[in-house]
Amino acid sequence: MKKILVRVLLVLLVAALGFGGFVYYMVHNSTSQIYSYNKKTNKSSDDKTTSKQAVTYLLLGTDTGTLGRSYKGRTDTMIVMVINPKSKTTTMVSVPRDTKIDFDDVTIKINAAYSYGSSGTAMEAVEKLLNIKLDGYLLVNMKGLEQLVDAVGGVTVTSPLTFNYDNKSFIKGQSYNLNGSDALKFSRMRYDDPNGDYGRQMRQQQILTGVIGKLKKNPTTVISQKFLDAVGKNVRTDVSLGSVKNLATDYRDAGTTIKSDQLHGTGQNIDGQSYEVMPDSEIARVHSLLQSAIDAK
């Protein structure tokens, strides 16, 4: 569920890439809430988007209901995204929430780095793990999924398997027009999926594809004030409006091809805690993948 919220935020970036100045104008007039808590934006993003270089962002999804909460929560979704205007590609790599890392000489799951500090702390953890430089973050809470899907008029998906979740039934091979509530149910189920969390991620990607399809078909209608209001209530970022404008005007072709990957580890129980332990070879693979996406011409 949290991954979908982060991917819906990606939709905004893809929309900016695909529909240029129109989206920027609407975002510019609807984002006071997004920046209200943090006046400092990321200079690295500004510098790179001004010179039309590839940018690398960290998409974060929290496990709590509101951004004004007293309980900070954890970032159960962490996705590294590279947007490259030269190769005309966008690359996403998911980092499992239970990835084992060392944090201030203590072993923790990577999703706890945010709760120990801030979005900046989460960025530092991912940078250290993958040996990369991030140019900014985008933080989304889990409350807005229904609002965001409803704001685009719902999405259509074909179920890859038969299952029931929260009094909603899905049949393999059958297509469904989902409102926000049902999209939440479609994307939540994990334990009855033979592929576990990886299967859930695939269903979440279907929701993303459905939203992008709506954006491409009729952007001037779908990217409405209702949509942007939903985003404004559920998104925080240090990527400036200047960077968004640059993305909208100079990076639009990068939204044409979207590539997805995942950091894969092995489940291990350590001192009573379940972790995903990443072998050095897998970390090296993902580092090379991201670096290649950044360097591609």
In tens, the pLDDT along 5-37 reads 444 455 555 444 444 444 554 455 555 555 545
pLDDT at res. 16:
46
Cα separation, 185 vs 183, in Å, equals 5
Cα separation, 274 vs 272, in Å, equals 7
CA torsion sign, 34 to 40 to 43 to 44?
A: negative
pLDDT at res. 13:
54
- What are the backbone dihedrals phi and psi of residue 263, each rounded to the nearest 5 degrees, phi first? -80, 120
pLDDT at res. 8:
46
Residue range 226-244: mean pLDDT, rounded: 74
Question: What are the tens digits of pLDDT across the range 109-152?
Answer: 999 999 888 889 999 999 999 999 999 998 876 556 677 788 78
Q: How many CA atoms lie within 13 A of 45 on its CB side?
A: 25
Query: How much is the pTM?
Result: 0.78
Lowest mean pLDDT among 17-31, 64-78, 221-235, 267-281: 17-31
pLDDT at res. 250:
84
Q: Mark 170-191 as b/e (b = at least 16 C-beta within 10 Å).
A: beeeeebebebebbbbbbbbbe
Grouping H, G, I as helix, E, B as strand and the rest as coil, residue 142 is helix
Residue range 237-256: mean pLDDT, rounded: 79
Lowest mean pLDDT among 188-192, 208-212, 287-291: 208-212
pLDDT at res. 66:
47
Q: How many CA atoms lie within 13 A of 213 on its CB side?
A: 12
Question: What are the tens digits of pLDDT across the range 40-52?
Answer: 788 899 999 999 9
Residue range 270-282: mean pLDDT, rounded: 94
- Between the alpha carbon of residue 142 and those of residues 10, 36, 64, 76, 132, the distances in Å are 15, 19, 6, 10, 27
Cα separation, 161 vs 177, in Å, equals 16
**Burial of residue 102 (number of CB atoms within 10 Å: 0-12, 13-18, 19+):** exposed
